[in-house]
Structure 1
């Protein structure tokens, strides 16, 4: 059998705590109608007190390993895609490795903001091309509510927490519950737009001992400008990867876009000619969970039986940086 990069297992996790729009009305100057009409979001999940990104990643990773019929010992590489790691150092991937009970793996964090998961898939494909027998864990996990400014009504209603994971390998595994070939991936970026969506606290604006943390250390976004670039960029990169593979919208069974805002994902789907029944939507229940949003939606659709063997899935992502990308999966 010809070896090619593929997903061997998949899993996800969302925290138990639900924060509804009605809950937000109690401490934010907003309303359910305002949030729903502009974003499509009705509720989001919030990590428990003390629940770090590595904790959420651990649950998702274990579920992906179980789906693949593997143990953590079988892994060779761990890639944790996140913009909200446990600490600046050590990498959250190394903390995850320890929590998985293994040592000696290649482990590192990858930050491409909301596009992180697809960047992680492409990075995993690169490792698989170099190491034929590699087994790569790609996990995306975010605790965006830890970097949410609850006094900013334009952004605090958008974000939620969660994690999703896949196991990548070069050949199908006997006993694996889920399997999908990674047909193609395309990644792009443009740093000229970086200032439109930021989360500070790095070396360009370091915190000083005793200094009060201000709004620069939390999510700041120019929503209208981000919206315009997001729709244009995701549509363009999805068209590019479809055309390169001689595919059209009719060849796609499901479209899973980054779950940033219902208006964005709906606009992209319409421009691509994809009907609503082909679009996987979780933003109404989970909000925007950044890098983890697309893998949570993918995992949910696989585990609830919507995505079956034979289905072709188109992924489309967009995030701060700006970064964006697309991938085609063949189940």
Structure 2
């Protein structure tokens, strides 16, 4: 009896499917892969790009002009400053040696009791005030950092600290490429219409993660935070004209800060677990220099091509503030004069994901960067990761 009912139900179901036309529709033939196990045809990728709300470059890659515009900017650095002369009493070095090799004269560092979240909150408040924007209307907060004070992320705490009670908040870790990666990631949320406003923050405190007895790294890093408020805008009004992002994990050992696990035995002789700890930053300076001076100019050129702009249309070159010799080399390979480089490296050192927004805020505040200026922007660093964007301010 049960078998009969199953048969009847099956017949009824098949009749309904046939009436609806489901059985006459192509199934396996419409899949993006062959059911026989042959190589995939990648039809799915093609169909996605056909329906995506973006233009395509001649090479088939995205050349999207993001429908976002910056409306506010702010920055913050701790008051404690360590000069090159101060470092002479810590490691075997001197002011001339540091300046000629890096371009750095001083760096700001957090002291005990001061927090990275505090820097980020202050920078964010300045950006909101600069735009006369109510934090309760903020939709999204994206924090670019590699040195959060909570393993699970600092963005939610920062959102709470600025009164962004209705915002979604999350961290994005891409080291010194973090601000560019975060700006593009957040921009896609706004471009798609999911959100209307986003605060993109770059904040790092790498002074906490260097070996202060290693003169090759302790001279480089400082602490700071920078924030830019973006709003969605109409078609053709976007400030991010084009972008280009990359990463290569095969070169990760050139610049990294890996976990150093510590063994702890379990009771009862059932084995052991590991206690997570981090050591100090490890960097192959020579290889990082070669990587930056090779990959960054190529990425900027690609972004300019996607934006249909030539190098002579660039008003400013804004790079991650790692080393002034890198900046000069990149400018030279692009055919840009050194006078177009935006830099405050001498005063702040390498502040990782904060370096681009902090340098940009200073340039805007001092009247150097004006509305309508075209900025070729690029971040690069651990991962290895690198990316560029062409931004019309």
TM-score (norm 2): 0.77
Which residue number in structure 2 is paired with residue 5 of structure 1?
A: 68
Distance 1:79 1:252 in 2: 27
1:206 aligns with 2:261: yes
What residue in structure 2 maps to residue 183 of structure 1? 241
Q: Which residue of 2 aligns with 1:121?
A: 183
Match for residue 43 of structure 1 among 87, 106, 110? 106
Q: How many Å apart are 1:171 and its aligned residue? A: 2.7
SS at match of 1:315: strand
1:72 to 111, 124, 135: 135
- Superposition deviation, residue 256 in structure 1: 0.5
Which residue is 2:390 aligned to?
Answer: 328
Check if 1:267 corresponds to 2:337: no
Tell me the C-alpha RMSD between the 2 structures.
2.2
Give 1:45 shift: 0.8
- 1:195 equivalent among 249, 253, 271: 253
For residues 17-39 of structure 1, the C-alpha deviation after alignment (integer angstroms, 9 at most, x for no partner) is 11100000011111111111111
TM-score between both structures, scaled by the size of structure 1: 0.91
Residue ranges of structure 2 left out of the alignment (5+ in a row): 1-64, 266-273
CA, structure 1 residues 81+277, in 2 after alignment: closer, same or farther (shift >3 Å)?
same
How far apart, in 2, do the equivalents of 1:119 and 1:79 lie?
10
Contact kept, 8 Å, 1:230 with 1:264, in 2: the verdict is: yes
Q: Which residue of 2 aligns with 1:175?
A: none
- Is 2:298 aligned against 1:236? yes
Q: Which residue of 1 aligns with 2:167?
A: 105
Give yes or no for contact 2:66–2:239 (8 Å, CA) kept in 1.
Answer: no
Give 1:314's aligned residue: 376
Structure 2 distance, partners of 1:167, 1:208, is 44
Partner in structure 2 of residue 150 of structure 1: 212
The one of 75, 90, 93 equivalent to 1:27 is 90
Which residue of structure 2 lines up, in the alignment, with residue 221 of structure 1?
283
Q: 1:222 to 1:87 in 2, by over 3 A?
A: same
| Residue pair 1:77, 1:105 contacting (<8 A) in 2 also | yes
Where does residue 316 of structure 2 map in the other structure?
A: 254
Tell me the distance in 2 between the aligned counterparts of 1:47 and 1:192: 33
Query: How far apart, CA to CA, are the structure 1 residues paired with 2:66 and 2:335?
Result: 33
Deviation, 1:67, is 1.3
For 1:39 and 1:186, how far apart are their aligned partners in 2? 26
Supply the distance in 2 between the matched residues of 1:134 and 1:309 (Cα, whole angstroms).
21
- The answer on whether the counterparts of 1:4 and 1:170 sit within 8 Å (CA) in structure 2 is yes
User: Alignment partner of 1:188: what SS?
Assistant: strand
- Compute the displacement of 1:207 (Å): 4.4
What SS does structure 2 have at the residue aligned with 1:200?
Answer: coil
Does structure 1 conserve the Cα–Cα contact (< 8 Å) formed by 2:307 and 2:390? no
Residue aligning to 2:21: none
Cα deviation 1:139-172 (Å, max 9, x = unaligned): 0000010111101111110000101001111139
- Cα pair distance change 1:101/1:161, threshold 3 Å: same
Pick closer, same or farther for the CA change 1:72–1:263 going to 2, 3 Å.
same
Does the 8 Å CA contact 2:78/2:223 hold for their aligned counterparts?
Answer: yes
Matches of 2:185 and 2:380, distance apart in 1? 17
Alignment deviations for residues 80-119 of structure 1 (CA, whole Å, 9 cap, x no partner): 0000001212x10011112123334211100000000000
- Aligned partners of 1:280 and 1:207: how far apart in 2? 43
Distance apart, 1:132 and its partner CA: 5.4
Look at both structures and tell me which one has the larger radius of gyration over its CA atoms.
Answer: 2
SS of corresponding position for 1:288:
coil
Q: Please give the alpha-carbon distance, in whole angstroms, between the structure 2 residues aligned to 1:207 and 1:62.
A: 40
Kindly indicate whether residue 339 of structure 2 is the aligned counterpart of residue 284 of structure 1.
no
CA shift, 1:212, in A, is: 11
Task: Verify: 1:84 aligned to 2:139, yes or no.
Answer: no
Which sections of structure 1, spanning at least 5 residues, go unmatched? 173-178
Partner Cα distance (2:155, 2:249) in 1: 26
**1:259-310 deviation line (CA, Å, top 9, x unaligned):** 1001111100111011111111111111100011011111110111001122
Higher relative contact order (CA 8 A, sep 6+): 1
TM-superposed CA distance for 1:248, in Å, is 1.9
